[in-house]
């Protein structure tokens, strides 16, 4: 998983990016991320990596680049979920 959080304002401002795993190892202290409750649009991609990620983010930018987009990004917590070596879901928080 990959998380985008602590947005200063929007994609132009500063924000944090964290890589995550569903497997914990050893006695290491891990940071945690809380996925904010709310509405999310889910974008899916299925191709070899990293092409699936690149193409899915292209869909996301296209969705929100309209002068009158159907949805407005919330810029709270967005995240990528890697379902397999060739499948990804990207969750974008919306208002």
* pLDDT at residue 82 in the model: 93
The fourth-level CATH superfamily of domain 2-21+41-94 is Regulatory factor, effector binding domain (3.20.80.10)
Q: Give the pair of three-digit tokens for residue 2.
A: 């990959």
How do residues 71-93 score in pLDDT, each as one tens digit?
A: 999 999 999 999 998 999 999 99
Asked whether residue 46 carries a pLDDT value surpassing 90, the answer given is: yes
Domain boundaries, the chain: 2-21+41-94
Kindly report the pTM of this predicted structure.
0.86
Residue of higher predicted confidence among 4 and 28: 4
Q: For the range 52-59, what are the long-range contacts, defined as Cβ-Cβ under 8 Å and sequence gap of 24 or more?
A: 52/86, 52/87, 52/88, 53/80, 53/88, 53/90, 56/88, 56/90, 57/90
């Amino acid at each position: 998983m990959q998380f985008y959080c602590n947005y200063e304002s929007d994609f132009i401002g500063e924000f944090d990016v964290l890589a995550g795993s569903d497997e914990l190892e050893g006695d290491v202290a891990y940071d945690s991320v809380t996925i904010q409750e709310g509405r999310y649009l889910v974008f899916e991609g299925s191709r070899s990596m990293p092409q699936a990620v690149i193409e899915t983010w292209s869909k996301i930018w296209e969705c929100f680049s309209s002068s009158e987009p159907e949805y407005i990004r919330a810029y709270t917590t967005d995240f990528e979920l890697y379902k397999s070596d060739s499948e990804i879901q990207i969750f974008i928080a919306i208002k």
